[in-house]
Structure 1
Amino acid sequence: MTLKIDGIVSALRSSRSALSRTVDPNGRVLDLPSPREVSEAVSGITSSLFPRRYGGAKGGLNGELDYFVGYTLGKALEALRAQVVRELRFTASLNGNELDDGEAVALSIAQDFADGLPAILDILYSDIRAAYDGDPSAKSHEEVLLSYPGVKAIIHHRLAHALYKLGVPIIARIIAESSHSSTGIDIHPGAEIGGSFFIDHGTGVVIGETAVIGERVRLYQAVTLGAKRFSVDENGALVKGLPRHPIVEDDVVVYAGATILGRVTIGRGSVIGGNVWLTRSVPPNSNIVQAQARSETFDGGAGI
């Protein structure tokens, strides 16, 4: 006795075709970026940035490390370029366009991304130092690099953000969500984040697409930098791309559970206390805390 699935296959095909956009008007199948292959490329790129710590590279000579980095990075970038071609062709098809020069455009994007890696590494070093300096339990820079979820999240974000700016938002989002699933930290790749950034503990942190974060900012777990409301057009559809998330200026600390919503500005040097709900801008050097709980006793019916 065997299961009967022919009808189910047919029904699934009908349901799939109602939403599927992976076949262009000429009937050609469009390959989407592969999350698995994107993740493998990111792993190779990360190994190239930190060859001894993440890549497991052996040997103490610069020549040996350079060979490892060159081989690993070249392989990873070629894998990434192939995924960029897929996204570019898919996006062009959605817009009703042909993409005859997809290979050349993807190569240019991959090269621009590669050219930016030294600057990304420099800012990541500032993030690692911020994590070490900001946590009294940290014993070494290597410890925070290898084990802190906030550091892992910002590594992925720096790479995803660079690709987002280069015009491949699907791949950028795949990278961001891969990090989100393993760290519990949700950073949209569009968010602008300055150097020396530290997320302590991290679980439940949410940073929206249009958030702008300055230098030397520290967040704790369960902080949300979100949108207060979403604008809609005359048809009721969401208007995308509008600035709707907070601006957090330099040297701000936001403690656990705080929620900051809307295009508000948190002034430089401010401290936002735990579990604060904030939907307005605050000037530099503000100290925002919850209202104090009030306890009252009513005896003999007094106050009723």
Structure 2
Amino acid sequence: MAKYLKIDSVLSGVVESLCAPESYMGVYHQPSFGSPMPSVELLSDIVERLRSVLFPGFFKEPFITPENMAYFVGSKLEKVRRELTKQVERGFCFACDKDEHACSADCAVRAESMCNQFLQTLPHVRRLLATDVQAAFAGDPAAKNPGETIFCYPSIRAVTNHRIAHELHKLGIPLIPRIISEMAHSATGIDIHPGATIGESFFIDHGTGTVIGETCIIGRNVRLYQGVTLGAKSFPKGENGHLVKGIARHPIVEDNVTVYSGATILGRITIGEGAVIGGNMWIVDDVPPGAKMYRNL
């Protein structure tokens, strides 16, 4: 009995310390108006349903035919709309800094409207992804057919999540796009911020360790290799000492650029059309169109 009392005494002290306001300040989230947090598990299911619609016949539903495709796509998207609307509404509440009386009463209506707008972007998303798949197949001699890149390539997985997240990000939906991007980051090691703008026919060969920052603008037919960083050179602070948010601080990569493994490109600079950046290069200045930047050994 004394042994259990001793454990209870230790536990009581730990609980008291962890519940002290000075202990949890900065790491505690109190749900706004009792709203639950967005669910990573449900968002993962939503992304998988979207993948099965964007690439019909590849994931979980192998017997799709042109005759039954309308039923399949419609049923998947109706469930996506219902579930995503709930998650977007939760995202609004998570990001809300208003009191209960000032907060808009139509969050659910706004969330449904945004989800409908998002669904209307899916034909555009699929068109872009089709070009990404072809770029992966054309750019990798090891790929036996385009379907192999859809099934197996981490680049296609990461770019699929990004193109979904980017459309949600453009609508101004908080938190949800970042969760979707980080799902792919965890699964593939490819870190693409949902704010990054990426043109068609984009391919990341191998991909592990690639980082693409929030304000990057990437043109068409761009190829990156593993370990490439398109990052910020510095992080300016405002008068309050906090980092200034939302400024353009990442590179612009124009059409037909290739960046080899381990290259680091920093700041709001431009990599000109058709340029080639060699492996392990450190680039902080503009690169003219057609230039070839290699490290001399």
- The answer for the alignment partner of 2:95 in structure 1 is 91
Is residue 65 of structure 2 the alignment partner of residue 65 of structure 1? no
1:130 aligns with 2:135: yes
Identity, in percent, stands at 46
Change (3 A) 1:84 1:17: same
State the shift of 1:29 in Å: 2.1
Question: Do the aligned partners of 1:46 and 1:55 also contact (CA within 8 Å) in 2?
Answer: no
User: Are the equivalent residues in 1 in contact too, given 2:56–2:64 (CA < 8 A)?
Assistant: no
Counterpart code for 1:172: P
Query: Which whole-Å CA distance do the structure 2 matches of 1:237 and 1:59 have between them?
Result: 52
Query: What secondary structure sits across from 1:189 in the alignment?
Result: coil
For residues 52 and 269 of structure 2, the distance between their equivalents in structure 1, rounded to whole angstroms, comes to 38
Q: CA offset at residue 9 of structure 1?
A: 3.3
Post-superposition shift, 1:95?
A: 4.3
Residue 256 of structure 1 aligns to a residue in which SS?
coil
- Name the amino acid aligned to 1:177: E
Contact between 2:95 and 2:174, CA under 8 Å: does it hold in 1? no
Residue ranges of structure 1 left out of the alignment (5+ in a row): 294-304
1:13 aligns with 2:19: yes
Matched, 1:173 2:178: yes
- Distance between the aligned counterparts of 1:261 and 1:233, measured in 2? 21
Q: Which residue of 2 aligns with 1:190?
A: 195
Q: Normalization by structure 1: what TM-score? A: 0.90
Q: Which residue of 2 aligns with 1:296?
A: none
Tell me, yes or no, if structure 1 residue 56 matches structure 2 residue 35: no
Q: Where does residue 34 of structure 1 map in the other structure?
A: 39
Q: How does 1:1-304 map to 2 (within 5 A)?
A: 2=4, 3-4=7-8, 5-15=11-21, 18-19=25-26, 20-24=28-32, 28-60=33-65, 62-92=66-96, 94-96=97-99, 97-290=102-295, 292-293=296-297
| Alignment: residue pair count | 287
Distance 1:17 1:29 in 2: 19
Residues 5-63 of structure 1, C-alpha deviation per residue, up to 9 Å, x if partnerless?
34433433335752334244xxx323221111111111111112122012324143x23
For residue 277 of structure 2, what is the amino acid of its counterpart?
Answer: I
In structure 2, distance between residues paired with 1:234 and 1:254: 37
Shift of 1:77: 2.2
Is the 1:194–1:216 Cα contact (8 Å) retained in structure 2?
yes
SS of equivalent to 2:68: helix
Letter of the 2:35 counterpart: L
TM-score by length of 2: 0.92
SS at 2:230 equivalent: strand
CA deviation string 1:111-140 (max 9, x = no partner): 000010011001100000000000011001
CA contact (8 A) 1:22 1:32 kept: no
